Amino acid sequence: MSYQAPLRDMRFVLHELFDVAGHCARLGNSLDRELIDGVLEEAAAFTGNEIAPLNRNSDEEGCQLVEGNVTTPKGFRAAYQQFVDNGWASMTGPTEFGGQGFPQLVAFAFHEMLMASSLSFRVYSGLTEGAVLALHKHGSDDLKRDYLAKMVSGQWTGTMCLTEPQAGTDLAMLRTKAEPQADGSYKVSGSKIFISGGEQDFSENIIHLVLARLPDAPGGVKGISLLLVPKFAVNADGSLAAKNALSCGAIEHKMGIKGASTCVMNFDGATGWLIGEANQGLACMFTMMNDARFQVGLQGLGIGEAAFQGALRYARERLQSRGLSGAVAPEKAADPIIVHPDVRRMLLTQKSLVEGCRMLAAYTARQLDLEHAAEDAAACKAAGKRAALLIPIVKAFFTDMGQEVASHAVQVYGGHGFIREWGMEQLMRDSRITQLYEGTNGIQALDYIRRKLLGDGGTELSALIGELSALCDAQTQRPALSAMARTVQTRLGEWRELTAEVIALSQRDAQEIGAVSVDFLQYSAYVLLAGFWLQAAATAQDALDAGSGEAAFYQAKLHSAEFYLRRMLPRASSHREALLGGAECLMAMPEASFAF
């Protein structure tokens, strides 16, 4: 299937909602609107013309493992080299190591394009960027000198090695060992599973960031360290040494993203070096994990955009039956199915979710930028708190959204959606993993309540609700927007009350945290997107009032906002009712009663 980056909507979000050029200036970056638009246009051409055509074949061909070597699908090697040569790999990398230092508010749009064009292809480079973040923040000067420049350029790739057969979510059960050596290095021994890009055929070196236990380390998660374990170590002159004592023992045969190698990695006394302090591995790894979770959220967004485009294209072309009020295209044998209300329901559901999530993604990217480069320490800290609050919502809600939007795409196609050649079923299969890796969505919901809500007694969430409430107040006096503003304001008041109820429930019984977490996250996401749709509607109305020459685009924004508030926001009510049902109905039934 084809993919065309939604440049007009991306420009609306970047320029009209979030003033990306002003944001760049605040960060001390010289990017202006013209340059940003040029980058987006080049990114759209690269992803649409070079990457998207590889997606279907990557699913059919998959990866092959022969004698420990992985062969990626046809076209991936050449495309990755072009990705590196054209500078896309170094887009967000630190400038002192050859990166271009693009803000996340710009880069997220390119990353969405990559996800939409081929999620399998994006997997390889995505984890490298996270590994760069962790190494740049926590690595020694020697490790940075030896590894960062080539990782930033994309010449070398990176992985994240956490999971073991017995240790998934519960990393306290981790067994991989790291034995200290006289020269300051460590010998790493153990097996890791589900390692994305653990072995492939297009980078000179693969740098594994591995969680392991040092001798006499404390038990549980407090005894985990992070080590850099390269496929090939680096000699003093910068050349590559002999292959390290590690290997790919198998690749998984998966439901989706078949073009991305998912490896079992065996470390047999492989040489590695400590990153950060001993027993502080999780703290170091979480630098990478937060970026990874944001990027997985963008995977859901990209899949959703690709599915929406496919469904819209088919709905405009497929002729079936007449409109319920009479023929819309009497000169044709039947009307296009886009005239039918139920098809429009699905398309508008897709459009309002995808575009709503794009606004939230941009807002979150902005906070991630400010966390590291705001004008003072207090502003950095505030942005960091806001980003931390939003990351579990972005990861969980966006990926649930991507799966739903892909499912709607299959439905719009009817029986053809179930057939491989149309591409919709691949999107649905590819999207399923996004709800699982980098912490399942249930784990994200627990994190949202336990760490982000209960961690500060709801202070940061209350501040966010307050900002959205001020937006509503500003729009209530505008006749064209007053009804929308009142609808959102009512939900914000309800969100405050529900937050207090969730905190009270959680303090009475720890089981309530797990019982309410998913529904509270979903409720929060639907109301949060309502706030962004109100902001989009206000911006669109401003443009129309000013006599914009793009009236159709801005009218579509108003229609989409109205649809979201009338047909999507009510979903929040069901999540509210469900979570108020409490934990007792979940936990009271004896385990033996589940089956007879």
Which of the residues are catalytic? 438
| Total Cβ atoms within 10 A of residue 19 | 15
Q: Comparing C-alpha atoms, which of 218, 214, 229 is closest to residue 172?
A: 218
Separation of alpha carbons 35 and 498, rounded Å: 44
Q: Which residues pair with 178 in a beta bridge?
A: 188
Q: Which residues pair with 70 in a beta bridge?
A: 65
Token pair, residue 395, equals: 């990861």
| Total Cβ atoms within 10 A of residue 467 | 11
- What is the chain's percent helix, strand, coil content, to nearest 5? 65, 10, 25
Long-range contacts for 324-327 (Cβ within 8 Å, ≥24 apart)? none
Pairing mode of beta strands 205-212, 156-161: parallel
Separation of alpha carbons 228 and 376, rounded Å: 32
Separation of alpha carbons 93 and 136, rounded Å: 10
Separation of alpha carbons 273 and 179, rounded Å: 11
DSSP 72: P
Token pair, residue 275, equals: 């990153």
Pairing mode of beta strands 232-234, 240-243: antiparallel
Q: Which amino acid is at 398?
A: F
Classify 100 as helix, strand or coil: coil
Burial 415-433 (b: 16+ CB within 10 A, else e): eebeeeebbbbbbbbbbbb
Separation of alpha carbons 285 and 259, rounded Å: 26
The vertex-428 CA angle with 528 and 52, nearest 5°, equals 95
Q: Comparing C-alpha atoms, which of 28, 31, 131 is closest to residue 373?
A: 28
| Cα separation values, 487 from 469, 532, 555, Å | 11, 13, 20
Q: Which residues pair with 270 in a beta bridge?
A: 188
Residue 37 · residue 5 · CB < 8 Å: no
